[in-house]
Chain A
Amino acid sequence: MAELPEQSEADQPQAEQNQVEQSHASAPLSVASRRPMVVTVLVLAVVGVAPVLAGALGFDYLLGTLTRAVILGMAAVALDYVVGYGGLVSLGHALFLGTGAYTAGILVLQHDAGTGLGTDQALLAWPLAMLVGAGFGWVLGALALRTRGVYFIMVTLAFNQMMFFLFNSLAAYGGDDGVRLSTRDRLGPLSLDDDSVFYYVCFLLLVVVVVVFNRLVRSPSGWLLRGARDNELRLRSVGANTRRHQLAAFVLSASVASLAGALAVNESQFLSPAISHWTESGELLVMVIIGGVGSVVGGVLGAFGLLVLEELAIEFTDDWQFFVGLGLIVIVLLARRGLAGLLLGGHRNV
């Protein structure tokens, strides 16, 4: 943070009253290091060529895992915005994977049943999934944001469990066993049933998500979000409506996670409440931490890191979860800023 102008100026007393305006005014892109940008582009480039590389090396079977990593990476980037920049640790983001998955899944099932209420058009289903996710994010976020800190963790986890039970009770849509979907959504002339095409559609959406969040963290709202994380009382006392920006961040994050959920159900073609189990919320947080909290692209690194780690662990042992848990504890206790921390060195992605 040392290279940012706010830090030094905020030390002067007269600057304090204007801090909000200052945050607005001084978009520090020009003075900030270019390194986060370079790392972001590099990471996305590697993700872009990953299927080709995997194919060339004879790991074709990894394409499914890579697709899941792209999808969950998208959700992790969205979660990082709330956790890393907002300081609001949500242990309930898998519920939004669930809202997206169930929106897209139910639409396909209704389409198959010919009720006229369904659709298999991605251009309809996916935005709708985002809208539903935003709706749930707005209601649950407004409630959860009445608390902070450890309460926020517990409340979001409780909402996660509530939705998990709700999805379990949808007997018409698979109940607790889940249900197979006949088809992936249709996207214009593209054939999403082709796994490579589907991968690159997910990849393009991931790029859009990363670009959007990269811009957001440099926007006035992003600065306010971080300011509220570091000293909420102070921002409120100068008249900033911190809760509004926190809620906006939560809603946006929920909506992107919901899109990821819709993509995930397309990937697996299997609609099941397992996607919103509370440990999935934990896994998303793990991705954020492995990748590096508050770094945007770290979520992508974390998703690839975790899924590849799991894939490797499965190769060696049936008890892989034991070792994933062990690895997690070691990472938390030893590596503080994750993979992105290593790549970024001392440079923060603002």
Chain B
Amino acid sequence: MELFLEQTLNGLQSGFTLLMISSGLTLIFGMMGILNLAHGSLFMVGAFVAADIGARTGSFTAALLAGVAGAALAGVLMETVVVRFLYDRDHLDQVLATLGLVLMANQGVQMVWGIAPRTVTRPPWLEGSVSLFGLDYPIYRLAIIAAGVATVVVLWWLIHRTKVGMWIRAGNTHRDLLGALGVNVSLLYTGVFALGAALAGFAGVVASPYLTVEAGMGDNFLILSFVVIVIGGIGSIRGAVYASLLLGLVDTWGQTYLPTVVGRLTDPSTAAAIGSSLASASIYLAMVVVLLMRPQGLYGAPRG
């Protein structure tokens, strides 16, 4: 039971991390119709900047702020120099140009920070663990969950309760009309892109104490957030929330329990290997099930 509770919390933690990345991606797609493969690179940039500033200052807060700001800045640069010329292009051009950005970013971080992997350390004030129903659980992981919940609340408030949010919702469907009403749509796009980048950078910083900060570290998160978007429905933040948590839980539970289940059938070492690849496959199986039942995703508008 304790194991189940622990793994559930771990699953929620990785789900919320995924949510921070995929909500930005889906927001950007919903608004500008652009598929940004370099979104995972923004996650990576956030982590690298945080590792650098963290090592210089020793302060996690400074590292976090710098990481988020660095990713947002990289996002603004990306949008103004490359991405804004892709809005009217087809998906193939978008994929290739943003793939170019991925290659540049992966090499770029190595040119700036070298090839040695780096680390981000947890702040001392989030060290240690608390007792939850008899389970000692790391405070830092709980803090990630709290940050994820806060992200959802703030995003909801921003999109549904503010004027900017109104523009964002209007821009999803009536871009030209919005411009005709005097809103600077181009600036709004840059802003939304920066917001998505900042969210990805935030995720990169808070997740990196559990990861190695290295080139390409965002790639798998990018692909996972694609799975989130396919499951949740494109452009739907609500879908992204549910799908992220679902994937986080399915993956973590799978990694924990599948090797045990397979272990009943075969010897331990093979069981570990098979169980772990089954667990990796489980999130894609979840995607396949959604594709079969509801190709437009849980909260996507029906196609055609």
Contact = CB atoms under 8 A, between A and B. Distances in A.
B107 A319 contact: yes
Given A154-B229, A162-B280, A165-B277, A83 B92 contact: yes
A329 B95 contact: no
Interface string B252-291: 0000000000000000000001001100110010011001
A155 B220 CA distance: 14
Nearest to A140: B288
B62 interface: no
Given A289-B96, A332-B100, A322 B304 contact: no
A145 B82 CA distance: 30
Contacts of B110: 319
Interface in A100-154: 143-144, 146-151, 153-154
A333 B223 CA distance: 25
A279 interface: yes
Contacts of A278: 219, 223
Contacts of B82: 329, 333
A89 B98 CA distance: 15
Interface string A299-327: 00000000000000000000111101111
Interface in A264-289: 278-279, 282, 285-286, 289
Contacts, number: 128
B91 A149 contact: yes
Given A166-B277, A285-B96, A143 B223 contact: no
A289 B284 CA distance: 29
B284 A162 contact: yes
A143 B291 contact: yes
Interface string A73-90: 000000000010000010
A161 B225 CA distance: 12
A150 B277 contact: no
B95 A322 contact: no
Given A233-B304, A322-B107, A325-B107, A158 B284 contact: yes
Contact of A285 (B89, B92, B288): B92
Nearest to A166: B277
A328 B98 CA distance: 9
A326 B104 contact: yes
A89 B280 contact: no
Nearest to B216: A279
Nearest to B106: A321
Interface in B83-132: 85, 89, 91-93, 95-97, 99-108, 110-111
Contacts of A319: 107, 110-111
B280 A158 contact: no
Nearest to B108: A322
A282 B100 CA distance: 9
Contact of B273 (A89, A171, A282): A171
A325 B104 contact: yes
Contacts of B219: 278-279
B209 interface: no
Contacts of B223: 157-158, 161, 278
Interface in B50-76: none
B95 A153 contact: yes
A150 B29 contact: yes
Contacts of B107: 319-322, 325
B191 interface: no
A17 interface: no
Contact of A165 (B281, B287, B295): B281
Contact of A159 (B92, B273, B284): B284
Contacts of A286: 96, 99
B227 interface: yes
Contacts of B299: none
B101 A325 contact: yes
B101 A155 contact: no
B113 to A, nearest CB: 13
Given A150-B29, A158-B223, A166-B281, A328 B97 contact: yes
B281 A285 contact: no
Contacts of B227: 154, 158
Given A165-B277, A319-B111, A143 B292 contact: yes
Interface of B: 29, 35, 37, 82, 85, 89, 91-93, 95-97, 99-108, 110-111, 219-220, 223, 226-227, 229-230, 234, 273, 276-277, 280-281, 284, 287-288, 291-292, 295, 303-304
12 contacts: A147-B230, A157-B223, A162-B284, A233-B304, A279-B99, A279-B102, A279-B103, A282-B96, A289-B93, A329-B97, A332-B89, A332-B93
Given A324-B100, A326-B104, 12 more contacts: A146-B295, A154-B230, A158-B284, A161-B284, A162-B280, A282-B95, A285-B92, A285-B95, A285-B99, A319-B110, A321-B104, A326-B100
Interface of A: 83, 89, 91, 143-144, 146-151, 153-155, 157-159, 161-162, 165-166, 169, 171, 233, 278-279, 282, 285-286, 289, 293, 319-322, 324-329, 331-333
**Which 5 pairs across A and B sit closest by C-beta, in order of nearness?**
A325-B103, A328-B100, A325-B104, A322-B107, A169-B277
